[in-house]
């Protein structure tokens, strides 16, 4: 993941590394130039101006390079973050609902926002790290050039510095990973609570919820403190070692000066190179940044590892939306088999209701029927073609969905009904709204169909009618309603199902139903029980069985005709 982000910012990263290295080179030249200027001032003042001017030029170059590095570093991080977020968002939507089931919306948002921003700093940090490494290395070489003994004295203390840095990288990466996990859990619980705000308010459990959301807080605090301790320890050890090394180099340089092997200027240069060579503080900072970026990238990588749904290139032959499930087995995310070898045919041009007790797998079957999920084994076919072999536009044009709680996406009410690709023409949107019995209430909204969704507070039934209108407007040869009629009043439900179930040739309908009235109007009913299809038949025939009646919470025959006749 880090490699991909760095490759994406390749040119900027290379420029940044070049600027950082140029800054390091200028920084390394400065002590030698200062030393020369000092020697010239002491021995031959006529040459001193020249050296002083060189020192001034180097300082100017350093200031300009530093400014460029700051701007380029910030924009490189911003661009890498934007690229990561775009890639991740595309991937999450490409995988489909499965990824939401695995990570939860809060955790995904935390990764997409927080972790992507941290991982996005990696290319700039990496470029800076090279420069931060080059400075001490260059300083040691400079010490060697002044006098090899100075470099040897310094190198004697290097193993301690390396040990400090290694311990820092190892310990801090553990703390950072745990810290980010705790952050993700808080975000996940918060998103759940926001989604369930009504339930929490009704239950009067706000305080308990706050406690639940913030449960990982002590762990967060513990890991945060541990991180500071690791960083503090590394800095303290570095601070302890650095002055000792600097004094050793300076003492050696002083000795060499008394033996006339070094000039005063070289002593000055050596003292500054000793400071540069022990500049572990910058390295610790850069290394810390890289550790955080790596931990974040690991969390993004987990999301990207979730395989995207793949499509093939087949198209559909002419047909009326015949749906077929062949030996379909599907498990939930805990590995429990929900549907076990289900065989089912919904003949084109007919309506089939799917009924069963809560948790029987009706919604899962609806998801498999339109390839919102793939079965673990078996095959789902539309007009004889396996769904896995269809190309995406063909699949999505052929199958329309309406859900129990439709998401009202789009700017206006008209947008939300026409949501999808291609956008249906306005005439079709109105017609679909009339079929779904949504036209009346939409026209009563402040700006009718142009009312922004945010300014249209809708009841559950109204939202469901917009969801139904969306499915009708999109058309297609198979329409799947997953409990999409549950919030409609019985009169509206009657009208909608009449319009929907009217023997309209040309497309099939699969309707997850909880009400006997809905099942009664379908051409046939599939009764799911214990992972299997227990029976397929007409509602009136199945009603004779007590087990079937119990699905609707009734053991009397009163609802035989759906209670609506």
Q: Which residues are paired to 400 by β-bridges? A: 479
Q: At what angle do helices 460-474 and 490-501 cross, to 10 degrees?
A: 10
SS (H, E, C) 258-281: HCCCCCHHHHHHHHHHHHHHCCHH
Closest contact distance (angstroms) between CB of 371 and ligand ATP is 11
Q: Which residues contact 185 (CB under 8 A, 6 or more apart)?
A: 107, 215, 216
Closer to ligand ATP by CB, 245 or 513: give it: 513
CA–CA gap between residue 421 and residue 300 (Å, rounded): 29
Give CA 65 to chain center in angstroms.
35
The closest of 211, 213, 223 to 181, measured between CA atoms, is 223
β-strand pairing of 524-529 with 532-537:
antiparallel
Closest contact distance (angstroms) between CB of 529 and ligand ATP is 10
Closer to ligand ATP by CB, 373 or 478: give it: 373
- Cis amide bond preceding 53, omega within 30: no
Closer to ligand ATP by CB, 297 or 330: give it: 330
CB atoms within 10 A of CB 253: 25
Closest contact distance (angstroms) between CB of 282 and ligand ATP is 50
Closer to ligand ATP by CB, 430 or 515: give it: 515
Closest contact distance (angstroms) between CB of 276 and ligand ATP is 59
- Alpha-carbon distances of 115 from 82, 107, 108, 306, 339, rounded to whole Å: 12, 10, 10, 17, 37
Closest contact distance (angstroms) between CB of 93 and ligand ATP is 15
Closest contact distance (angstroms) between CB of 242 and ligand ATP is 57
The answer to whether 54 and 31 have CB atoms below 8 angstroms apart is no
Q: Can you give the binding site for ligand ATP, defined by CB under 6 A?
A: 97, 332, 338, 356, 358-364, 367, 372-373
The closest of 342, 339, 338, 337 to 326, measured between CA atoms, is 342
CA–CA gap between residue 112 and residue 447 (Å, rounded): 35
Closest contact distance (angstroms) between CB of 510 and ligand ATP is 13
Closest contact distance (angstroms) between CB of 400 and ligand ATP is 17
Closer to ligand ATP by CB, 364 or 496: give it: 364
The answer to whether 219 and 178 have CB atoms below 8 angstroms apart is yes
Closer to ligand ATP by CB, 17 or 354: give it: 354
Closest contact distance (angstroms) between CB of 363 and ligand ATP is 3
Closer to ligand ATP by CB, 97 or 547: give it: 97
The closest of 383, 384, 387 to 375, measured between CA atoms, is 387
Closer to ligand ATP by CB, 2 or 366: give it: 366
CA–CA gap between residue 182 and residue 305 (Å, rounded): 21
Instruction: For residue 409, give the 3-state DSSP assignment.
Output: coil
Closer to ligand ATP by CB, 66 or 192: give it: 192
């Amino acid at each position: 993941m880090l490699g991909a982000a760095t490759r994406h910012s390749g040119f900027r990263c290379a420029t940044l590394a070049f600027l950082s290295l140029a800054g390091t080179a200028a920084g390394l030249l400065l002590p030698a130039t200062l030393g020369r200027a000092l020697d010239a001032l002491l021995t031959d003042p006529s040459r001193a101006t020249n050296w002083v001017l060189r020192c001034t030029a180097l300082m100017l170059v350093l200031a300009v390079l530093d400014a460029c590095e700051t701007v380029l570093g910030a924009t490189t991080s911003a661009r890498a973050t934007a690229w990561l977020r775009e890639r991740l968002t595309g991937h999450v939507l490409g995988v489909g609902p499965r990824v939401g089931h695995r990570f939860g919306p809060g955790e995904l948002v935390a990764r997409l926002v927080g972790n992507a921003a941290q991982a996005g700093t990696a290319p700039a940090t990496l470029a800076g790290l090279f420069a931060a490494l080059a400075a001490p290395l260059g300083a040691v070489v400079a010490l060697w050039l002044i006098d090899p003994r100075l470099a040897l004295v310094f190198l004697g203390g290097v193993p301690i510095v390396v040990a400090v840095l290694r311990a820092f990288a190892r310990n801090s990466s553990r703390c950072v990973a745990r810290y980010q996990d705790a952050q993700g859990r808080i975000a996940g619980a918060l998103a759940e609570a926001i989604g369930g705000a009504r339930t929490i308010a009704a239950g009067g459990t706000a305080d308990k919820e706050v406690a639940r959301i913030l449960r990982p807080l002590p762990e967060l605090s513990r890991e945060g403190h541990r991180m500071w301790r690791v960083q503090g320890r590394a800095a303290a050890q570095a601070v302890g070692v650095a002055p000792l090394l600097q004094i050793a180099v300076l003492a050696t340089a002083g000795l060499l000066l008394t033996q006339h092997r070094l000039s005063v200027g070289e002593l000055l240069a050596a003292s500054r190179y000793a400071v540069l060579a022990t500049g572990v503080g910058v390295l610790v900072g850069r290394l810390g940044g890289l550790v955080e970026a790596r931990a974040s990238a690991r969390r993004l990588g987990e999301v990207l590892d979730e395989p995207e749904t793949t499509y093939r290139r087949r198209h559909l032959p002419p047909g009326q939306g015949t749906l077929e499930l062949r030996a379909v087995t599907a498990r939930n995310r805990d590995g429990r088999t929900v549907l076990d070898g289900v065989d089912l045919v919904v003949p084109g041009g007919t309506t089939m209701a799917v009924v069963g007790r809560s948790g029987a797998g009706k919604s899962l079957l609806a998801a498999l029927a339109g390839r919102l999920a793939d079965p673990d084994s078996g095959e789902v076919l539309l007009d004889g073609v396996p769904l896995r072999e269809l190309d995406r536009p063909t699949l999505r044009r052929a199958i329309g969905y309406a859900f129990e709680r439709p998401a009202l996406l789009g700017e206006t009410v008209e947008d939300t009904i026409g949501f999808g690709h291609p956008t249906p023409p306005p005439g079709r949107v109105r017609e679909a709204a009339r079929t779904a019995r949504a036209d009346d209430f939409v026209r009563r909204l402040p700006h009718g169909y142009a009312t922004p969704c945010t300014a249209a507070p809708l009841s559950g039934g109204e939202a469901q009618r917009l969801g139904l209108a969306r499915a009708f407007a999109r058309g297609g040869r198979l329409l799947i309603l997953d409990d999409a009629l549950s919030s409609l009043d019985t009169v509206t439900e009657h009208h909608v199902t009449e319009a929907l179930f009217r023997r309209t040739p040309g497309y099939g309908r699969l309707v997850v139903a909880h009400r006997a009235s809905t099942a009664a109007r379908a051409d046939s009913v599939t009764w799911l029980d214990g992972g299997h299809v227990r029976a397929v038949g007409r509602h009136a025939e199945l009603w004779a069985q007590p087990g079937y009646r119990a699905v609707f919470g009734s053991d009397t025959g009163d609802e035989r005709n759906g209670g609506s006749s």
